[in-house]
Amino acid sequence: MEYKEIDSNIDLLKVLEFENELTYYAFQNIDFSNILNVSTNISFYNCIFLGCTIPDHINTKVSKDCLIFPQIKAPFNPFINSLYTKEILYNNYKVGVPKSYELTLDKVVYNHFIKHGKEAKDIKETLTRRLHDHSITNALNDFISNYEKRKIVAIMGGHSLSRNDKNYLSVARISKKLTELGYLMISGGGPGAMEATHVGAWFGGKNDSVLVDAIEILAKAPLYNHELWLDQAFKVLEKYPSTNYKSLGIPTWLYGHEPPTPFATNIAKYFANSVREEGLLAIAKGGVIFSPGSAGTIQEIFQDATQNHYLSYGFASPMVFLNKDYWTVNRPIYPLLLSLTEEEKYKNMILSIYDTEDDVIAEIEKFPKA
Q: What is the residue-wise DSSP string for 270-322?
A: BS-HHHHHHHHHHH-TT-EEE-S--HHHHHHHHHHHHHHHTTTTSS--EEEEE
Angstrom distance (rounded) from CA 343 to CA 354: 23
CA angle 299, 261, 225 (to 5 degrees): 80
User: What mean pLDDT is predicted for residues 57-76?
Assistant: 94
Phi and psi based region of residue 183 (left: phi greater than 0; alpha: psi -120 to 50; beta: remaining): beta
- Residue 344, phi-psi category: left (phi > 0), alpha (psi -120 to 50), beta (remainder): left
Q: Which candidate, 263, 95, 76, 92, places its Cα nearest to that of 175?
A: 263
Task: Render pLDDT for 172-231 as a digit per residue (tens, 0 to 9).
Answer: 999 999 999 999 999 999 999 999 999 999 999 999 999 999 999 999 999 999 999 999
The pLDDT value recorded for residue 38 is 59
User: Quick one: pLDDT at residue 370?
Assistant: 78
**Distance from C-alpha of 6 to C-alpha of 12, rounded to nearest angstrom:** 6
215: Cα separation from own chain's centroid: 22
| pLDDT for position 35 | 80
Residue 39 is predicted with a pLDDT of: 61
Q: What is the pTM of this model?
A: 0.96
Quick one: DSSP state of residue 265?
S
Asked if pLDDT for residue 34 goes beyond 90, the answer is no
* Closest C-alpha among 346, 15, 293 to residue 154: 293
Is the model more confident about 60 or about 334? 334
Q: What does the mean pLDDT of the chain come to?
A: 96
Confidence at residue 36, expressed as pLDDT on a 0 to 100 scale: 72
**Overall size of the chain counted in residues:** 370
What's the pLDDT at 290? 98
pLDDT of 96 higher than 90: yes
Q: Tell me the average pLDDT across 241-259.
A: 97
| Mean of pLDDT values over 309-318 | 97
Compute the distance between CA of residue 23 and CA of residue 44 in angstroms, rounded to an integer: 6
Q: Does the pLDDT value for residue 311 go beyond 70?
A: yes
Q: What percent of the chain has pLDDT over 90?
A: 93
CB-CB contact of 319 with 282 (8 Å): no
> What number is the average pLDDT over the span 11-38?
89
Domain chopping of the chain, boundaries: 4-69, 148-365
pLDDT for position 65: 96
Calpha distance 103→95 (Å, rounded) = 13
6-10, 267-271, 343-347: least confidently modelled range: 6-10
Report the C-alpha gap between 136 and 88 in whole angstroms.
Answer: 14
CATH topology of domain 148-365: Rossmann fold (3.40.50)
